[in-house]
């Protein structure tokens, strides 16, 4: 796989990485290049200088180290382009697949990673980020995972689709960081962070939440479809069926899976009471209504996606 780093990012990272007595050497080498008259030639000389300093400062090493750990990505993706992110939330990887069928699967795939220059000079934080992003990509190119870029749209509407995407991201990330932790490569506290994020996003699982978290974090990696199923119908998938059906007091549809006060977040109960003054927590409601009120109460807006 070809690693292509954008020149402006290389230059900014070098300026951050070069410290101490080397700063004078670097500036001296730079000054000399201003003597080149032809502007294109001068620009190329600057780029070559920064690439040389980039390699000498060992800034490429984390990329090569992380890539060596994921053979599926190394062999299954043709190009890896790294460009600059201006803010921390923009940092991360995306896999682009060309629709050109004349190309092989490998040739069609381009991995684009956006990073801030500051991240490039913090080796351990960079490695942790690369490992998480690359393991997601490794799943995407693994036929056994059977990844689909679009989650099936829910009949309920786009708000509900957002909720599914958030849940799916939490589930996928749980299995990713769990695998990295088992290799002994995750920072301290990773399990606790992953666990609390999972419990926040899957409060409806009640007593079963810990067990499902453990299965994802420490068990075999599920397939994409299994994650989608769990994101869509967490309680059914976790086997939490109830014996007798009721009618949902909110939407009126029949349900075997009532969510009651115990599995509903405080904000959701407050939101329901404000909109439906007659409703009481012990009556419960169907899982779909519970999810819609979770969206309205903003419960999902607070679940950060990356650890």
Q: Among 123-131, 140-148, 220-228, 241-249, which window interacts with Zn ion (CB under 5 A)? A: 241-249
Assess 129 for contact with Zn ion (CB under 5 A): no
Out of 163, 289, 297, 299, point to the residue binding Zn ion (CB under 5 A): 289
Assess 171 for contact with Zn ion (CB under 5 A): no
In the bound complex, what is the minimum distance in angstroms from residue 285's beta carbon to Zn ion? 5
Size of the site for Zn ion (CB under 5 A): 5
Assess 268 for contact with Zn ion (CB under 5 A): no
Assess 272 for contact with Zn ion (CB under 5 A): no
Instruction: Say how far apart CA 262 and CA 195 lie, in whole Å.
Output: 19
Assess 48 for contact with Zn ion (CB under 5 A): no
Assess 248 for contact with Zn ion (CB under 5 A): yes
Assess 250 for contact with Zn ion (CB under 5 A): yes
Assess 77 for contact with Zn ion (CB under 5 A): no
Tell me if 165 sits within 8 A of 101, measured CB to CB.
Answer: no
Q: Which is nearer to Zn ion, 74 or 296 (CB)?
A: 296
First-to-final CA distance of the chain: 27
Assess 251 for contact with Zn ion (CB under 5 A): yes
Q: Among 176-184, 200-208, 235-243, 249-257, which window interacts with Zn ion (CB under 5 A)? A: 249-257
Tell me if 138 sits within 8 A of 73, measured CB to CB.
Answer: yes
Tell me if 172 sits within 8 A of 282, measured CB to CB.
Answer: no
Assess 159 for contact with Zn ion (CB under 5 A): no
Q: Among 2-10, 122-130, 208-216, 289-297, which window interacts with Zn ion (CB under 5 A)? A: 289-297
Q: Which residues bind Zn ion (CB under 5 A)?
A: 248, 250-251, 286, 289
């Amino acid at each position: 796989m070809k690693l292509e780093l954008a020149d402006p990012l290389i230059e900014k990272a070098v300026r951050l990485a070069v410290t101490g007595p080397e700063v004078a050497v670097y500036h001296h080498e730079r000054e000399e290049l201003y003597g080149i008259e032809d502007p294109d030639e001068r620009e190329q000389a600057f780029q070559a200088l920064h690439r040389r300093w980039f390699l000498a400062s060992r800034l490429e090493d984390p990329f090569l180290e992380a890539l060596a750990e994921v053979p599926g990505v190394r062999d299954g993706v043709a190009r890896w382009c790294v460009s600059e992110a201006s803010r921390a939330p923009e940092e991360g990887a995306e896999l682009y697949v060309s629709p050109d069928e004349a190309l092989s699967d490998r040739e069609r795939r381009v991995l684009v990673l956006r990073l801030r220059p500051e991240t490039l000079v913090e080796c351990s934080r960079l490695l942790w980020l690369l490992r998480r992003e690359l393991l997601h990509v490794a799943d995407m190119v693994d036929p056994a995972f059977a990844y689909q870029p679009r989650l099936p749209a829910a009949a309920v509407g786009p708000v509900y689709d957002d909720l599914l995407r958030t849940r799916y991201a939490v589930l996928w990330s749980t299995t990713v960081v769990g695998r990295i932790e088992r290799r002994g490569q995750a920072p301290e506290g990773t399990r606790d962070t992953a666990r609390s994020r999972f419990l926040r996003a899957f409060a409806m699982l009640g007593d079963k939440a810990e067990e499902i978290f453990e299965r994802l974090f420490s068990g075999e990696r599920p397939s994409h479809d299994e994650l989608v199923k769990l994101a869509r119908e967490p309680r059914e998938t976790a086997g939490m069926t109830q014996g007798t059906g009721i009618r949902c007091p909110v939407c009126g549809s029949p349900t075997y899976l009532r969510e009651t006060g115990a599995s509903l977040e405080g904000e959701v109960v407050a939101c329901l009471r404000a909109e439906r003054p007659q409703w009481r927590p012990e009556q419960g409601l169907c899982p779909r209504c519970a999810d819609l009120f979770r969206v309205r109460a903003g419960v999902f807006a607070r679940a950060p996606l990356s650890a």
